[in-house]
Amino acid sequence: MSIKSFLIGQPIETEKEKHERLSRITGLAIFSSDALSSVAYATEEILLALVVAGAALLNYQMGIAAAIAALIVIVSTSYFQTIHAYPSGGGSYIVAKDNLGTNAGLIAGASLLIDYVLTVAVSITAGVAALTSAIPGLYAHKVLLSLVAIVLLMLGNLRGVREAGKIFSIPTYVFIISVFALIAVGLARYFGGDTAAPPAQLEATGGYIAIFVVLKAFASGCTALTGIEAVSNGIRAFRAPEPRNASITLLWMAGILGTMFIGITFLAEHYAIVPVDNETVLSQLTAAIFHKGAFYYLVQFATALILIMAANTSFADFPRLSSVMSADGFMPRQFGSRGDRLVFSNGIVILGLIAILLVIMFKGETHALIPLYAVGVFLSFTLSQSGMVRHWFRLRGKRWIGKMLINGLGAVTTAVALVVIAAAKFTHGAWIVIIAIPVIVYLTKQIKSHYDSVADQLSLQGRKRQVEYSHHSVIVPVSGAHQAVINAIRYAKALSNDVVAVYVCFDPMETTRVKQKWNTHGMGVPLIVLESEYRSVIEPLMEYIDGVRETHKGGVITVVLPEFVPERWWQHLLHNQTAWLIKGILLFKRGVVSTSVPFHLDK
Amino acid sequence: MSIKSFLIGQPIETEKEKHERLSRITGLAIFSSDALSSVAYATEEILLALVVAGAALLNYQMGIAAAIAALIVIVSTSYFQTIHAYPSGGGSYIVAKDNLGTNAGLIAGASLLIDYVLTVAVSITAGVAALTSAIPGLYAHKVLLSLVAIVLLMLGNLRGVREAGKIFSIPTYVFIISVFALIAVGLARYFGGDTAAPPAQLEATGGYIAIFVVLKAFASGCTALTGIEAVSNGIRAFRAPEPRNASITLLWMAGILGTMFIGITFLAEHYAIVPVDNETVLSQLTAAIFHKGAFYYLVQFATALILIMAANTSFADFPRLSSVMSADGFMPRQFGSRGDRLVFSNGIVILGLIAILLVIMFKGETHALIPLYAVGVFLSFTLSQSGMVRHWFRLRGKRWIGKMLINGLGAVTTAVALVVIAAAKFTHGAWIVIIAIPVIVYLTKQIKSHYDSVADQLSLQGRKRQVEYSHHSVIVPVSGAHQAVINAIRYAKALSNDVVAVYVCFDPMETTRVKQKWNTHGMGVPLIVLESEYRSVIEPLMEYIDGVRETHKGGVITVVLPEFVPERWWQHLLHNQTAWLIKGILLFKRGVVSTSVPFHLDK
């Protein structure tokens, strides 16, 4: 208990829950870390996809970046509409469920859950990569560093780190300002003719392969869009008028994201940056423009910080979505209960554990995790936008056709991007997500149907399941005649007049001794001796209990178990845990109640 | 259950236990595998200790071997006397405990338990080394091979591999015959002038260092004596007259062991064999004399087999000794219970697990494990022989002085060897054992004192602990008003007239609903609503129960818990396990009995 409170703090009373409302400035800082931080790896992913075809295709990077920037515009416009249509929070799960039905909602929900897990894994490993680019000596420990970061985030969130706006906005704005400075100086130098190296003269590459490689690079770059929907989930956190403030923040974020992404990609091309294993593209670019001085280290640490904050947003989103799905009966009820510090602890722990597993399995490599990432994100985009199309079609309010067309464009483009991503990245790991989503959907439906069936069986309406007990038999399994047993017998005699003690015989001599003692101390309760061919207590005892169940059909049997309670924990190891085993088995026998009469040892 | 019976077979009835009596021929095969197999590594250990000082000291090896051979003669003569004095089995634990008191017995017992664990680890890794010497491709997988061998031995022994004399004697005799053939041919070639290489001309080395290195080599070579006491543990397994047959077998074994050890060491010196990492000395020697033909492979496989059999003897000895110590109250009672197949399963499993841990920690290297090995063996030799000295002194039978002197010589020489081993090997790992032995002795005494105190507290003699219950309060914690709860209330009402239902309130709206339902369905049982500031069921409930304990001092409280029992295992995960937690906590409250009333879900 004290370890727990040292790690996560003292419990907080329920009534102390409060809500802080955010201005646009802090709102932008809090909700944009996930989206903006993706520029730390999105350009690199495009380059990595292109270099496999040799240097030849590297000059497609600006075209691909432009396509992705267009996608950013379309998707953010779509979400702008969602914010106004769902002012109380329009996550994909809710929008899809409301408009397209339960199945679409569950698919969106599963995609989002996967998306949140991958946000943690990708952001943390990318943040560590930013750090190890600046301090190469740490590169060998990147997996360990990632795990430490995830554990710290878990503990921080279990403590209930409030989204303390002002502190959290510092790294975001430092990141934005330093990246803009980087782009400005980089462009100035480039147009001043001062590039580190002239762009390589490139050979031409053949048609089909080129198309495939470019599509792959596009699919990789689409990770820049992850997190763009964050504002639409958190509308309620803004000051009034919430939808207006949230939607303006969204547009600002999209603008900053697009500018940074295009800027970095442009400079990476013209400074001829090529990805290497142990240093990120952003680190190489900053070093090329600024050399490794104070500003370089500022950019790297700001990048690492904003990536960790991006991971932190998932620690709010995942537990929140699972609690919503759990309230609907689609996730285990435990995800709906708040822990000591008023947070959904189970969701936080599960998220952290899965992310840790992913980081270990993929050896802390951001690049290896990316193929799993974009599928879930774009599937939830597509479902949410399709849901909005349906929404406008149903509602037919003012200018509904225009609004429907905008969301329709969003749905179609994200659907196309989804197909490209799934196809291009299928063998690199996207298949894992493509299998996982239907599996999760299936599980959520099984869970729901279990809860429905339990509610039905527990209902006091309609048929009654209770029968009148015709007879109450009490059985006391005993290991001899001693104080603990006599104690239990006395309790048993208070329950019913039909009490028997049952002794399982291994050794005839010992049995004779027990019988003699019983005659003196047994309080008149009959002692039944069972033979055990196989030296097991359980089997003969269960056979006997089944026999009693047969004899007194419709009766209830109480099995009273004398149980030792040692003073110290290690002493438990010195006693056979037969009582626990018996209780476990009895739980599955209908009409049998098990009772523990503890006997406390004094030393 | 079916996995278990597939792995270890169907349960065997207690009465089917039977005993096979052994002739000297099969007795030798069964009890000598541990001792004889040590020639596979003892010579190598001497060489390894000597080569660190350069080639200079290698010509001490015969002197060292001669000293160890003398030790073999002394120790086996001592045990010859032990066999006649303890015809029903004279293990060190029993001899030391009988003659020198409990502490000496426990020290001997702890030494032997450690010895058995190391026999498994050392023999298995040495057996794998014999195998990988013949098949070098397997060398990289030596740890895995060792673990597989240990697991197979565990399963075999859990199945209850009877010491099936005739089959088990084949590898022993193949090993004996092939090693004797090796020695005979080797000597013939050597004296025929056909050695592979002339012994190197050696430089002189300085005094103190030389003495220390030679003592270290002696300490290493002492592992040749491990297992020599096996016959004296198993006297009862021989045909009548047991002591005579057993003692003759012991002398045969000692003769064969001494001859093989001296022979191999002599040839190793004169064929100028020097230890290397990935091939054993025995393998090099066989290859030097016979080249790598059929005979070479026969020797290697016979060596591997006899080493595995040596490990197998520990799987009989460790569980047997722990069951004896458990019957005396010095080990947890679980070591005394026989499993499905009439073997002491817990001892077998614990032995296997510790050996696996050792093999992994020491990376499957026999040489790294050896320093831990000899300390325990020689400590138990010394205690057992000292015990015999005391025995003769007390008994003063025919020729007692002579007998006492023989065991006295054994005690003194093994004590000296023990000191040499402990000092020479201290920093190489012997310290682990030197710490472990007192720790184990301390634990065994704590266990004994716990069992004694329990027996005392359970005794029906003297003071009675039972008080008359002045009042029976029944408390039913409820999560609402539904079938499972109503079921439990009905059961509770049958126990006492003082029944209350307790509900912990999180949400005032929900509480109002529950109260209304309770008025209709509550069967007149009062519903007590507890407030929970911290969203925990446990704390307010326990406070309430403690309050009732205060009010009705000397009374008994029964807590009746309605418990869901889902149809399928995974459905358990979908329900809060609060009932289990409550039961666990209640176990530690005096005067509180907990009862589970199961409610079985149908689907």
CA distance B309 to B303: 10
Using one digit for the tens of pLDDT, what is the confidence trace for B508-539?
888 999 999 999 888 899 999 998 877 788 88
Contacts of B54 (CB under 8 A, 6+ apart): B203, B205
| Mean pLDDT to the nearest integer, A530-535 | 83
User: Do B450 and A574 lie within an 8 Å CB cutoff?
Assistant: yes
**Neighbouring C-beta atoms of residue A162, cutoff 10 Å:** 13
Residues of B in contact with A534 (CB under 8 A): 11-14, 340
Cα atoms in the 13 Å half-sphere on the side-chain side of A184: 6
**d(Cα A142, Cα B415) in Å, to the nearest integer?**
53
How much is the pLDDT for B481? Answer: 87
Picking from B39, B223, B219, the residue whose alpha carbon sits closest to that of residue B115 is B223
Cβ-based contacts of A592 with chain B (< 8 Å)? 598
H-helix or E-strand spanning residue A72: helix A61-85
If you average pLDDT over residues A310-333, what whole number do you get?
89
What are the C-alpha distances in Å from B243 to residues B90, B92, B232, B394? 11, 17, 9, 21
User: By mean pLDDT, which of B41-55, B166-180, B317-331, B454-468 is the weakest?
Assistant: B454-468
Least CB-CB distance to A482: which of B459, B469, B506? B459
Q: Among all residues of chain B, which has the CA nearest to that of A587? A: B598
Q: What is the dihedral of CA A166, A170, A171, A173, to 10 degrees?
A: 120
State pLDDT tens for residues B273-292. Answer: 888 888 899 999 999 988 88
Q: What is the pLDDT of residues A219-244, one digit of tens each?
A: 889 989 988 888 888 788 788 888 89
CA atoms of B492 and B498, how far apart (whole Å): 9
Confidence category of residue A434, pLDDT binned at 50, 70, 90 = very high
SS3 B30: helix
Buried b / exposed e along A550-569 (16+ C-beta atoms within 10 A): eebeebbbbbbbbbbbbeee
Instruction: Give CA–CA dist B281/B304, Å, rounded.
Output: 14
Q: Which of A334, A494, A535 sits opposite B472 (nearest CB)?
A: A494
For residue B172, list its beta bridge partners: none
Q: Which residues from A are below 8 Å from B536, CB to CB?
A: 11, 340
Report the residue of chain B nearest A329, measured CA to CA. Answer: B574
Mutation test of the interface with chain A: which of B13, B341, B460, choosing the one with the most A Cβ atoms within 10 A? Answer: B460
Proportion of chain B in helix, strand, coil states, percent, rounded to 5: 70, 5, 25
The predicted structure's pLDDT at residue B578: 83
Token reading at B394: 């007390």
Confidence category of residue A573, pLDDT binned at 50, 70, 90 = confident
- Is pLDDT above 90 for A352? yes
Given a contact cutoff of 8 angstroms between Cβ atoms, the answer to whether B425 and B375 are in contact is yes
Chain B residue numbers with beta carbons less than 8 Å from the beta carbon of A339 are 535
- For B59, the token pair is 């010509």
- Nearest chain B residue to A520, by CA: B460
| Helix A483-495 / helix B430-458 crossing angle, nearest 10 deg | 50
A482: Cα separation from own chain's centroid: 52
Six token digits for residue B571: 């459905």
Residue B132 has pLDDT above 70, yes or no: yes
pLDDT of res. A429: 87
Per the CB < 8 Å rule, is B483 touching A517? no
Nearest neighbour of B601 by CB, restricted to A338, A457, A459: A457
In angstroms, how far apart are the furthest CA atoms of chain B?
A: 108
Task: Write the secondary structure of A163-188 as one string of H (helix), E (strand) and C (coil).
Answer: CCHHHHHHHHHHHHHHHHHHHHHHHH
Contact assignment for B535 to A14 by CB distance below 8 Å: yes
Interface test with B, best of A443, A445, A458 (most B CBs within 10 A): A458
Give the mean model confidence (pLDDT) for residues B243-260.
93
Cβ of A450 within 8 Å of Cβ of B602? The answer is no
pLDDT, position A463: 56
The pLDDT assigned to B283 comes to 93
With beta carbons less than 8 A apart as the criterion, state whether B41 and B257 touch: no
**pLDDT for B161:** 57
Rounded-to-integer distance, Cα A510 and Cα B213, Å: 58
- Could you tell me the pLDDT band of residue A203, with boundaries at 50, 70 and 90? low
Q: How far is CA B499 from CA A442, B485, B496, B517, B546, in A?
A: 44, 13, 7, 18, 16
Q: What is the pLDDT of residue A600?
A: 85
Helix (H) / strand (E) containing B489: helix B483-495
* Listed residue (B178, B352, B364, B169) closest to B277, CA to CA: B364
Ranges of H-type helices in A12-59: 24-37, 42-51
**Exposure string over A257-286, b if 16+ CB within 10 A, otherwise e:** bbbbbbbbbbbbbbbbbebeeebbbbbbbb
- Minimal CA–CA distance to A596: which of A503, A484, A518? A484
Q: Specify the pLDDT at position A483.
A: 86
pLDDT recorded at residue A518: 92
Tens digits of residue pLDDT in B96-118: 999 999 999 999 999 999 999 99
User: Tokens 């089959």 appear where?
Assistant: B167
Bridge-based pairing state of the strands B592-600 and A592-600: antiparallel
Contact predicate B501/B541, CB 8 Å: no
A12 contacts in chain B (CB < 8 Å): 534
CB contacts, 8 Å: B464 with chain A: 483
Q: Is B573's CB within 8 Å of A332's CB?
A: yes
- Distance (Å) of CA B94 to CA A77, B91, B384, B388, B541: 87, 5, 8, 11, 54
Residues spanned by CATH 1.20.1740.10 within chain B? 21-451
Question: Which of the pair, A12 or B235, is modelled with greater confidence?
Answer: B235
Sorted by sequence, the CB contacts under 8 Å of residue B462 that are 6+ apart come out as none
pLDDT of residue A198: 53
Average pLDDT over residues B424-433: 89
What is the arithmetic mean of pLDDT over B123-138? 92
Is the full-model pTM beyond 0.80?
no
Name the residue in chain B with its Cα closest to that of A577: B334
**Which tokens go with B462?**
């003297």
**Cα gap B117→B377, rounded to integer Å:** 11
Q: How many CA atoms lie within 13 A of B125 on its CB side?
A: 25
pLDDT at B199 over 60: no
Nearest to A577 by CA among A542, A534, A527, A537: A537
Distance CA A485, CA A481 (A): 6
Q: Collapse the DSSP code of B135 into the 3-class scheme (helix H, G, I; strand E, B; otherwise coil) and give the result.
A: coil
* Of the candidate ranges A111-115, A439-443, B204-208, B496-500, the one whose mean pLDDT is the lowest: B204-208
List of residues 6+ apart from A426 with CB closer than 8 A: A434
Which residues, in sequence order, are CB contacts of B339 under 8 Å at separation 6+? Answer: A535, B158, B345, B346
Instruction: List chain A residues with CB under 8 Å of B598.
Output: 587-588, 590, 592-593
Q: Name the CATH topology of B472-600.
A: Rossmann fold (3.40.50)
- Mean model confidence pLDDT for chain B: 86
Average pLDDT over residues A73-97: 88
Is the per-residue pLDDT at B231 higher than 70?
yes
Chain A residues whose beta carbon lies within 8 Å of the beta carbon of residue B345: none
Residues 6+ away with beta carbon under 8 Å from B193? none
Phi, psi of A594 (to 5 degrees): -115, 140
Closest residue to B593, CB basis, from A466, A484, A597 = A597
Q: Which amino acid is at B302?
A: A
DSSP sequence for B362-389: TTT-HHHHHHHHHHHHHHHHHHHHHHHH
Q: Does the structure show a pLDDT above 90 at B17? A: no
Mean pLDDT, chain A, rounded, equals 86
Residue B51 has pLDDT above 80, yes or no: yes
Chain A residues with CB inside 8 Å of B495's CB?
494-495
The 8 Å CB, 24+ separation contacts for B185-191 are B185/B289, B185/B290, B186/B263, B186/B267, B186/B271, B186/B285, B186/B289, B187/B263, B187/B266, B187/B267, B189/B289, B190/B267, B190/B270, B190/B271
- Decide if B535 and A338 are in contact by the 8 Å CB cutoff: yes
Burial class of residue A80 (count of CB atoms within 10 Å of its CB; 0-12, 13-18, 19+): buried
Q: List the structure tokens of B300.
A: 């290697």
Flag if B338 and A491 touch (Cβ within 8 Å).
no
CB contacts, 8 Å: B504 with chain A: none
User: Where does chain A hold its CATH 3.40.50.620 domain(s)?
Assistant: 472-600
CB–CB contact A14 B594 (8 Å): no
Note the pLDDT of residue A200: 52
Of the candidate ranges B47-51, B233-237, B529-533, the one whose mean pLDDT is the lowest: B233-237
Identify the residue with better confidence: A430 or A234.
Answer: A430
Per the listing, tokens 């030792």 go with: A564
When scoring A344, A464, A465 by the number of chain B Cβ atoms within 10 A, the one with the most, hence best to mutate, is A465
Strand partners, A595: A560, B595
Considering the domain A21-451, what is its CATH architecture? Up-down Bundle (1.20)
Q: How distant, in Å, are the alpha carbons of B54, B201, B209, B210 from that of B204?
A: 10, 10, 11, 9
Bridge partners for A473 per DSSP: A498, A557
Identity (one letter) of the amino acid at A310?
Answer: A
Predicted confidence (pLDDT) at residue B555 exceeds the cutoff of 60 = yes
Is pLDDT above 60 for B465?
no
Residue, of A166 and A69, whose pLDDT is higher? A69
Residue found under tokens 């909602």:
A105
pLDDT 10s digits, A277-313: 888 999 999 999 888 888 999 999 999 999 998 998 8
How many percent of chain B have pLDDT more than 90?
A: 42
Residue B432 vs residues B282, B372, B378, B427, B428: alpha-carbon distances, Å? 29, 7, 15, 9, 9
